[in-house]
């Protein structure tokens, strides 16, 4: 599962976006633009992350995932 993630300079997840798997031609294009001190990451996450309903839990799990990968 692809997900766009914005982190601040301390690594805290501040925003996420899950693009559609198969966008239609007429679907709008969405882009993240990080503010100074932030970074945008495109992650390939396990499908289970798509079932997390709490934004707080999702951000925490993504931060843990990113720490393991670095």
Tens digit of pLDDT for each residue in 21-54? Answer: 888 889 888 888 899 999 999 999 999 999 999 9
Query: What are 28's two structure tokens?
Result: 């709008």
**What pLDDT score does 2 carry?**
94
Mean pLDDT of the chain: 92
- What is the rounded distance in angstroms from the CA atom of residue 33 to the CA atom of residue 10? 18
Strand segments (E) across 1-70: 2-7, 13-17, 39-44
Number of domains in the chain: 1
Say if CB 50 and CB 10 are below 8 A apart.
no
Which burial class, exposed, middle or buried, applies to 25 when counting CB atoms under 10 A from its CB (0-12, 13-18, 19+)?
Answer: exposed
**What pLDDT score does 27 carry?**
87
pTM of the prediction? 0.84
| Residue 43 lies in domain | 2-69
Query: If we measure between CA atoms, which residue out of 61, 49, 63, 58 comes closest to residue 10?
Result: 63
**What pLDDT score does 8 carry?**
95
């Amino acid at each position: 599962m692809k997900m766009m993630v914005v982190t601040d300079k301390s690594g805290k997840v501040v925003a996420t976006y899950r693009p559609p798997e198969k966008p239609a031609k007429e679907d709008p294009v969405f882009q993240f633009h990080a503010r100074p001190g932030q970074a945008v990451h495109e992650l390939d996450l396990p499908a289970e992350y798509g079932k997390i309903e709490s934004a707080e839990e999702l951000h925490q799990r993504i931060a843990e995932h990113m720490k393991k990968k670095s």
